Amino acid sequence: MSPRKILITHSSSDLYGASKIILQVVELLIANGWQVVFVVSEHGPLVEKLKPLSVDVRIINLGVFRKKYLTPLGLVNRFFALSIAVVRLIVLILSQRVTLVYSNTSVVWASGIAAKATRKKHIWHVHEIPFGNKRYIKLTGKMLRWFSSNVIAVSESVKDFWQASLKPHQIVRIYNGVTTVPNIVGTAKGLLVKDSDIIIANVSRIIPYKGHLYFLEVAAELLKLNPNLKFLIVGSSTPGYEAYVNTVYERIEELDLGSHMFMLGQREDVKNILEQSTLLYHSAIEPDPLPTVIFEAQIVGTAVAANNLGGPTEMIVPNKTGLLVDYRNPKNAATSINSLLKDEEKLNQFVKEAKLRLEREFSEAEFDRRMLSLINDTLAGGE
């Protein structure tokens, strides 16, 4: 009997949260006898990670559908891009005799349509809680309902957001299971800090909802309370957000944070940066579904603070495994963080309790078990 084949599509070739999780899914499937055909729109770090796994990687413009395309010209652009992508994916599904289709992130629509056209079961792994544009949210909800056999939500926040758009029992929550943090060999280099400095890190893609401007406001308030702080912003942006990155740099100058704030860009040594940091502060100002970096900090033994909304409220038990702070008032957030930084016993408690909770509720073994169960149930179930 020939191995079963699965077609996986993903929205980008970076190595941020959703990419790390789909890489884990690929490894799980291969370990369980699946052959993987992986489609992404461009080359990038993720493709390099897939190569040693003997994955059949195809570069096809998937016509990912983001909010910015909800304009007359944007819709025309996406119509043609999606049409071409759907045709190419249909040919791929049929020629490769694909058994199951799996779309990662809600902006990848072409594979769901292709699965429906070829009568293949389709799993849609949703990582996002979009906000701001009601037409986009409504349209995406209809796509999820019409073109998926089952939907995976990465958190209860994501599940609750999409539940009303879907059929009963169509969506299931499966938490990401993260037990290791990828890292290059060596130590974090190029950090202009002293042993006496207290380091607060922010690791995320530099886009508006991740709250970097809020992070800067909180940093300015914190420096009034403790001048021995250093702040690290780790991550890169995506095309279309260049103006936002410039605004972040400008705000650093306006707040006179230059000697305390370091923009490190995309790094491969995130593990060592987290290990050298006293605190990870995740500053999202809109609901962030399930930011993987919080797990990564907890794994390496770094205490975590996060704004009190979205996925972090499920990842952190307040004042037991981490700190949840005000996301509307930088001064209040800074006061809470400063109190924590002065309490070494509580910092150590957060680290210890967070690791224990990770093992109980967010283990890789539980993620693997639930993913395989859902895949088997999807293949066995009816439309």
Q: Please tell me the predicted confidence (pLDDT) of residue 1.
A: 56
Task: Return the bridge partners of 280, or none.
Answer: 201, 304
Tell me if 127 sits within 8 A of 106, measured CB to CB.
Answer: yes
Report whether pLDDT(190) > 70.
no
Strands (E), 249-357: 261-265, 279-282, 303-307, 323-325
Query: Is the CB of residue 9 less than 8 Å from the CB of residue 112?
Result: no
Q: What is the pLDDT of residue 376?
A: 95
Predicted confidence (pLDDT) per residue in 67-85, tens digit: 888 888 988 988 999 999 9
Has residue 184 got a pLDDT over 50?
A: no
pLDDT by residue (tens digit) across 4-30?
999 999 999 998 889 999 999 999 999
pLDDT of residue 332: 98
In whole angstroms, give the CA distance from residue 60 to residue 179.
31
Q: Output phi, psi for 45, to 5 deg.
A: -55, -35
Instruction: Check if the beta carbon of residue 282 is closer than 8 Å to that of residue 150.
Output: no
Task: Indicate if the pLDDT at residue 88 is higher than 60.
Answer: yes
Cβ atoms of 286 and 209 closer than 8 Å: yes
Q: Kindly give the interhelix angle for 17-31 and 364-380, rounded to the nearest 10 degrees.
A: 70
Give DSSP secondary structure letters for 125-186: EE-----S-HHHHHHHHHHHHHH-SEEEESSHHHHHHHGGGS-TT-EEE-----------SS
**C-beta neighbour count of 319 within 10 angstroms:** 13
Q: Are 316 and 306 in contact (CB under 8 A)?
A: yes
Q: What is the pLDDT of residue 180?
A: 59
**Percent of the chain residues past pLDDT 70, beyond the cut:** 94
The pLDDT tens digits for 35-63 are: 999 999 999 999 999 999 999 999 999 99
Predicted confidence band at 186 (pLDDT cuts at 50, 70, 90)? very low
For the segment 109-167, what is each residue's pLDDT rounded down to a tens digit? 999 999 999 999 999 999 999 988 899 999 999 999 999 999 999 999 999 999 999 99
User: Taking the model in full, what pTM does it have?
Assistant: 0.86
Res. 189: pLDDT tops 80: no
pLDDT score, position 181: 57
Percent of the chain with pLDDT over 90: 83
